[in-house]
Chains A and B, each alone.
Chain A
Amino acid sequence: MTTETLSTRPTTGILDSLREHPTIKRIQSNWIYRYIVFPVAQMLFFIVAAALVMTVIAYAVSIVVPEPRPNINLAAQITKQLPGMIVSGVGIGFVYAMIALGYTLVYGVLKFINFAHSEIFMVGAVVGFEITDRLAASGTIASWNPLILVPFVVISSMLVSGGLAVLIERVAYRPLRGSPRLVPLITAIGLSFFLVDGVRALVAVTRNDFNLTYPTQELEFLKNPIPLTFNGPVVGGTNIGGVTYEQITADGVVLDEWQVEGATYSSITVGGVTLGGVPVKASDIVSGETEYDAVLVEGRDLDDIEDGANIVNIRITVIIIVLSAVIMLVLLNYFVNGTKIGKGIRAVSQDQATAGLMGINVNRMVAITFFLGGAFGGAAGALFGLNVGTVTPYVGFIPGLKAFTAAVLGGIGNITGALLGGLTLGMVESFLNGTLVYFPALGQRYTDIFAFSVLILILIFRPSGLLGERVDEKV
């Protein structure tokens, strides 16, 4: 029996021997290193490694198949898309990772797949919507400081989702503890049906609709993506309808100002296109004092839109996701490895009966675990909602499945594994989406198939997932 249990650190041979070094041991015993520096560095390392590996593979493919389709130079396309693909991979990867944590925590302790977890994520997303929407309805949302608003929304979702997870455990899993593991699997599935349609009933009655759109339009700080420039200081030089718009730069810094035929604007919108700043209705384009409407009348001469792809708009929400995830993962790591309760949870995960003999309240530990897993799911839900803008009661299914895959990929039961699994899956998906398009016989619809093949390959070579500890059975 391979006993997989909650563990946070992979066992890597070389690192193990390094750890024995006295200096390293001293550093390691420092809690700042153990609970902050190491986990953060590890996450950065994973991000960079995952991105690097995928980039190398993508270029390798482009060497093998330089021109998958007439007039398409694969390498050039990859270069154009690279930053975008990485950012999107990281964004979705962290969401997967946070959901995967819920699967992994629960699996680590109770050894069963909590299929209802995807709905806990969904509830988090819906709660996030309810809060922001109510704030928006009361008209106060714009006055909130984002540094307070985002944590407020996320933490509320965490509390509700965490509470829900605990409730579910109490009602539907605890009575079944000790029965074959497939039994709670079925109650979990039943619950997930119940939750989806239950939430739908709630929002249908209260809102008459179940497409729940976050009021992101009213959140100033979410609107302006951070443009990253890859080709020097001048961004754009966009030419629309014979007019060239140049973004002004001073000392190599890109300003939020645009120059059109000599006049300077703080923001321009042409048709649906916003160049920096706040999207303004076409008729509202203002320059200092003069109205500039010549541009609108003509519509757009799209041929003249110049290469704008060197700009990558990093959505603020992606940054929020990454930051929140990092903070929460650091806290979780500390909680599980550095606190007494964490130790209790790990003990329960390894042997419930004996943990009870030691005076540990097994039920409480299980409840705490469910709360943690649920809270992470809830946070992921709210952040996901902020990022994609619209959620529904059905939104949990796909990310839930993906996150489950990520948890397995990383080694189910392993917290760090969930992170790595999520990032890997996000990155693989993003790169596949970005490159498969150019292969006429394939296309993005095969993304899942390829991603799945990657999963199988990894599992064949690492049967317990990327970081899963292979605890060989002692016979």
Chain B
Amino acid sequence: QAQDMQVIKIASQSPLSGPQSILGISIRNSVELAIEQLQGPLNELGYSVEFVPFDDQATPDVGVSNAQNIVNDAAILAVVGHLNSGVALPSSEVYNDNDLVMVSPANTNVNVTDRGYPTVNRVCGRDDTQGAAGAAFAATIEGVESVYVLHDTTAYGQGVAEFFMAEAEAQGLSVLGFEGTEEAANFDGIIQPILALEPDLIYFGGIYSQTGIFISQARAAGYEGFFMGPDGFDSSEFADLSGDAGVGTYYTSVAAPVTVYETAAQFAADYEEKFGEGVQPFGAQSFDAASIVLQGIAAAIEANGGAMPTRAQVAEAVRATEGFEGLTGAITFDDNGDPELANYFILQVGSADSAEWNNNALLSTQSIASPLMAAAMSS
């Protein structure tokens, strides 16, 4: 790196330690990869980009404390993060107070953007839309008339499950139960009443590390119906965890399978090469988030006549992102920072072999407008 370049820093915040770190690390790594691969345009403008990863430990206090640290580093112009909406919400207050732009790869919680902050954006879909898309599809599965909804009691899992439930009811499915569980290993007790209620489909709003185990245990206990879940299922690890029982499981995703977009496959390969492990869910989104940020900064610099832009200018430039072609599809932010049109994919697990994960069958693709867009279109 040339010494005369001005230094710009991009921070990431995600859990790097603790049980959720597998996803958090994937976020961190993907951002690092994006910065490494895509900082060329900025270098040409005379800026070098440094990456500062923070560990929010999936804890609000730590996230906020990090956020304070981040906003005080004048060189940091953008943040990619977080994994947990519970951490993103308070931390983004701090960013917003200081005009620092945040692009979230994973916070699907509606409140993240519904606050309407100019600095807060996300590249992923929303729980409300995703849950509803899942329910709409579930209603079309032949023979499914009753569903049982589980969630992991987190802002994410419960949020998406609630939206699923609402739409399922609207679609005329009968919801036999709505339950939250923090259990991570032994689901025996939870499975018993499900067996007795005999739902045709179980929807589990949660993350693969929990749901994969649940599914394998539910099958072993004799459950015979279908399983479905949100993008938290989208990890090759799911196949390892659920084994044969997971075959046939439906899941919605806000990220296209790498087989759909060539770029995504390239990303997965690069990732694997650099970090020696497979990319996890939200990795592609994190890469996109970082790319958008880099692009936004470059745009802001240009608009500023080549000089170091202010944070507000960067935020403005990021919000202005239009038609950005990312791994997860084209992204244009609406006024709240949601992608105007987000793709929601319905996939089905095809094999218990995790190497085959990318060959899961894509059953349906829906492009759904963000609520703000939808409202604009209907009026």
Contact = CB atoms under 8 A, between A and B. Distances in A.
A217 B243 contact: yes
Contact of A434 (B192, B213, B241, B276): B192
Contacts of A303: 143, 145
Contacts of B193: 77, 81, 433-435, 437-438
Nearest to B276: A208
A213 B240 CA distance: 7
B234 to A, nearest CB: 15
User: Which interface class (under 10, 10 to 19, 20 to 34, 35 or more) fits A?
Assistant: 35 or more
B198 A384 contact: no
Interface stretch (A155-163, A164-172, A309-317, A350-358): A309-317
A338 interface: no
Contacts of A398: 182-185
Contact of A384 (B186, B195, B276): B186
Contacts of A95: 186
A443 interface: yes
Best-surrounded residue of A85, A213, A301, A391 (most CB of chain B within 10 A): A213
Interface in A344-395: 384, 387-392, 394-395
B196 interface: yes
Given A302-B200, A389-B217, A444-B180, A85 B224 contact: no
A208 B19 CA distance: 14
Contact of A211 (B177, B222, B237): B237
Contacts of A225: 220-222
B142 interface: yes
B190 interface: yes
Contacts of B185: 384, 388, 390-391, 395, 398-399
A81 B196 contact: yes
Given A300-B143, A311-B222, A388 B192 contact: no
A453 B352 CA distance: 42
Best-surrounded residue of B178, B196, B200 (most CB of chain A within 10 A): B196
Interface of A: 77, 80-81, 84-85, 88-89, 91-92, 95, 197, 208-211, 213, 217, 225, 271-274, 279, 299-303, 305, 307-309, 311-313, 315, 384, 387-392, 394-395, 398-399, 429-430, 432-435, 437-438, 443-445, 447
Given A209-B22, A437-B197, A445-B179, 17 more contacts: A81-B193, A92-B189, A211-B209, A211-B237, A217-B243, A225-B222, A272-B244, A279-B244, A302-B143, A305-B198, A307-B198, A313-B221, A394-B184, A398-B183, A430-B192, A434-B192, A443-B179
23 contacts: A81-B192, A84-B196, A85-B192, A88-B188, A209-B237, A209-B277, A213-B241, A272-B247, A299-B142, A299-B143, A302-B143, A302-B200, A302-B225, A303-B145, A307-B198, A309-B195, A394-B18, A430-B188, A430-B192, A437-B193, A437-B197, A443-B178, A445-B180
